[in-house]
Amino acid sequence: MAEALLFASSEPLSLEELTLRLPDGVDVLGVLETLQKIYATRGVNLVRLAGKWCFRTADDLAYLMHRNVEEQRKLSRAALETLAIIAYHQPVTRAEIEEIRGVSTSKGTLDVLLETTWIRMRGRRRTPGRPVTYGTTDQFLIYFGLESVKDLPGLEELKGAGLLDSAVPASFLVPTPNDEDALTEDEDPLEDGSLFDEPADEPARN
């Protein structure tokens, strides 16, 4: 029954969702772990992403799907940099993103990332202007195949992948990501209309 539910679902299912659909008294986690072992050497694997369970093509066979999967719209470099900053530094405001990047961040860049559902507005920083804070979503974890945001690569992994210069300063640190739903001490909840009251970009000057 659990196998059928997971195959039929278009979205990953949580332990709670499966518990509601399976007979009372079933050790649902035990069932999932058994299925995970059964499918470990098959063409599809049962994996846990963002705390939910789903079947995914085995990593060593992913190349077979390349021709059949519709290519996602490519993000600009600015959007990728912004997404990475949000993932590692959340909760983070637009001004803080700009400070880290060293350049201004267009509201359109954040709008694109919001449309992908990979980021969300979390709350408002308790500072003048009460800017919106941003964080990642479960959809971000699922798309990138992560169980938790803490599974994002660390300093040595980034160096090994060639994404960081091996000669980075000794003082350079990769922050430990944290995507807990609970607001931090310097965040307030979003109010009604918060989706529309972010400061607009300044008009271009001639």
Task: Tell me the per-residue pLDDT of 59-75, one tens digit each, with 9 for 90 and over.
Answer: 888 777 665 444 455 78
Task: Report DSSP state, residue 200.
Answer: P
Q: Does residue 86 or residue 63 have the better pLDDT?
A: 86
Whether the per-residue pLDDT at 195 is higher than 60: the answer is: no
Topology agreement, domain 2-63 and domain 77-195: yes
Domain locations along the chain: 2-63, 77-195
**CA 3, CA 39: separation in Å to the nearest integer?**
11
CATH number for the region 77-195 comes to 1.10.10.10
For residue range 125-162, list pLDDT tens digits in order: 999 989 999 999 999 998 888 888 888 887 677 666 55
Indicate the pTM of the whole model: 0.65
For residue range 87-114, list pLDDT tens digits in order: 999 999 999 999 988 888 888 899 999 9
Task: Report the top-level CATH class of 2-63.
Answer: mainly alpha
Taking residues 174-190, report their average pLDDT.
85
**CA 173, CA 5: separation in Å to the nearest integer?**
43
